[in-house]
Amino acid sequence: MDKNYYVNILKARLSPVRYMHTQNVVETAMKMGEKLGINEEMMEKLWLAALLHDFAKDLSGQELLKIAGAHNLIIYKAEEVQPDLLHGPVGAFLCRRDLQIADEEILRAIHFHTTGHERMTLLEKLVFLADLIEPSRNYAGVDELRKICEDDLDKGLLLAFDSTLQYVLRKKMLIHPLTVQARNAHLLSMGGMEH
């Protein structure tokens, strides 16, 4: 894989701030992957998925809706009303079409990095969490989330879902159904609710 090829595309495509965030997500994801001892092939996939996760993030809401509408990517009302939720699905679509990325696991990690979904792979979990805890992220609870992710990825993922849902509720935004399903499935997979 020619890493410079993808890096140069991203540099040209994203704003400097977004590109810096992307670099941070890559570094964070790689550290997490190394700590877990994942194999070299998976590390390469993780690197590319983390690098390309925000491929469509700098598109306007109108552009996201136009591309998503033209290619039947809008599945939920929340995506229509809050088009930023489409930057994952549109990003995955554009990476497949424009960069000829065919690896489904990489594309799914890009597609679901904002919402999560019920049966997330390790790769998807790592990109999802690295996006939330990279060093330039600064929001209430991020330090706690970083600490928990250090010790226990699954507990970190549950806290990330809970925090995302609380944020969306506070902002009076629509909740994406995939995030609710992802959170519930993950909670059950961890042994269910505390009694």
Examine residue 29 and state whether it is found in any structural domain, yes or no.
yes
The number of domains in the chain is 1
pLDDT tens across 74-114, in order? 999 999 999 999 999 999 999 999 999 999 999 999 999 99
Give the pair of three-digit tokens for residue 27: 């570094």
CATH number at residue 92: 1.10.3210.10
Examine residue 132 and state whether it is found in any structural domain, yes or no.
yes
Q: Judge whether residue 70 has pLDDT over 50.
A: yes
Residue written as tokens 């969306």?
Answer: 168
Residue written as tokens 């390469």?
Answer: 44
Looking at the whole model, is its pTM more than 0.75? yes
Give the pair of three-digit tokens for residue 6: 């993808």
Examine residue 194 and state whether it is found in any structural domain, yes or no.
no
- Tell me how far apart the terminal alpha carbons of the chain are, to the nearest angstrom: 49
Examine residue 7 and state whether it is found in any structural domain, yes or no.
yes
Query: Domain range spanning residue 118?
Result: 3-189
pLDDT tens across 107-120, in order? 999 999 999 999 99
Examine residue 72 and state whether it is found in any structural domain, yes or no.
yes
Report residue 195's pLDDT band, with 50, 70 and 90 as the boundaries.
Answer: very low
State how far the alpha carbon of 150 is from the alpha carbons of 51, 67, 103, 157, 177, in Å. 21, 37, 28, 11, 28
Q: Rounded CA gap, 31 and 12, in Å? A: 26
Give the pair of three-digit tokens for residue 126: 């790592």
